[in-house]
Chain A
Amino acid sequence: MAAFVQLQWLLLTRSPRLLATLFVVPLYAVVFFTTVRSYEAPELAGTVALTAFSMSMWSQAMFVAAEVVDNDRWDGTLEPSLLTPNAYVRSLVTRVCTVTALSVPVLVEVIAIGRVGFGFPLPVHRPVIALTATLLLVVGTAGSALLVSALMIIVPVGRLLQNALTYPFYILGGLVLPVTSLPAPVEWVARLFFLSHGAQLLRDAMSGADGSHWGDFWALFVLSAMQLAAGVFLLRRALSRARRGEARLYA
Chain B
Amino acid sequence: MSAVHVEDLSRRFRGRKGQEVTALDAVSLRVEEGEVVGLLGPNGAGKTTLSRILTTLLLPTSGSARVEGLDVVREATAVRERIGLVLGGERGLYGRLTARQNLRYWGAMQGLTGSHCRTRADELLERLGLAARADDRVETYSRGMVQRVHLARALLRNPRVLIMDEPTSGMDPHAAQGFRGLVEELRDGGSTVLLATHDMQEAQLLCSRVTLIDHGRILREGAPKDLLTGLDSPRTVTAGGVSAVVAGAVAGIPGVAVEGPTPEGLVTLRVTGDDAVSEVLRILTAAGVHELSVAAPTLAEVYRSIIEDREFAL
User: Which of A's residues lie within 8 Å of B, judged by CB?
Assistant: 3-4, 6-7, 10-11, 14-15, 75-77, 79-84, 87-88, 91, 242-245, 249-250
Contact = CB atoms under 8 A, between A and B. Distances in A.
Interface stretch (B32-40, B52-60, B179-187, B206-214): B52-60
B153 A80 contact: yes
Contacts of B240: none
B111 A84 contact: yes
Contact of A245 (B56, B59, B110): B59
B85 A83 contact: yes
A79 B87 contact: yes
B92 A7 contact: no
Contact of A84 (B90, B97, B104, B109): B109
B80 A80 contact: no
B105 A7 contact: yes
Given A76-B87, A79-B57, A245-B58, A10 B92 contact: no
B57 A10 contact: no
A101 B136 CA distance: 28
Interface in B49-69: 55-59
Contacts, number: 81
B141 interface: no
Given A243-B58, A243-B59, A4 B93 contact: no
Contacts of A75: 91-95
B92 A79 contact: yes
Given A87-B109, A245-B13, A76 B57 contact: no
Given A10-B96, A84-B110, A76 B55 contact: no
Contacts of B106: 80
B191 to A, nearest CB: 17
A43 B110 CA distance: 53
B59 A80 contact: no
B28 interface: no
B11 interface: yes
A80 B87 contact: yes
Interface in B205-225: none
A88 B109 contact: yes
Given A75-B92, A76-B89, A77-B92, A87 B110 contact: yes
Given A4-B105, A75-B93, 17 more contacts: A3-B109, A3-B117, A6-B104, A10-B96, A10-B97, A10-B101, A15-B96, A75-B92, A75-B94, A76-B89, A77-B92, A80-B87, A80-B92, A83-B80, A87-B108, A87-B111, A250-B91
Contacts of A4: 105, 108
A77 B92 CA distance: 4
Given A10-B97, A15-B96, A245-B58, A81 B91 contact: no
B57 A243 contact: yes
Interface in B89-136: 89-97, 101, 104-111, 117
A249 B89 CA distance: 15
A3 B101 CA distance: 9
Nearest to A250: B91
Contacts of B97: 7, 10-11, 14
A249 B92 CA distance: 11
A84 B76 CA distance: 10
Contact of B96 (A14, A83, A242, A243): A14
B259 to A, nearest CB: 40
Given A3-B104, A77-B93, A83 B11 contact: no
Give the top 10 A-B pairs by smallest Cβ distance, nearest first: A76-B91, A3-B108, A76-B92, A14-B96, A87-B109, A7-B105, A84-B109, A3-B105, A245-B58, A82-B57
Contacts of B107: 3
A5 to B, nearest CB: 10
A245 B11 contact: yes
Nearest to A74: B91
Nearest to B11: A245
A90 to B, nearest CB: 9
Given A76-B91, A245-B11, A245-B13, A83 B56 contact: yes
A3 B115 CA distance: 12
Nearest to B117: A3
Contact of B109 (A10, A14, A91): A91
B105 A6 contact: yes
A156 to B, nearest CB: 11
Contacts of B95: 75
Contacts of B96: 10-11, 14-15
A4 B110 CA distance: 12
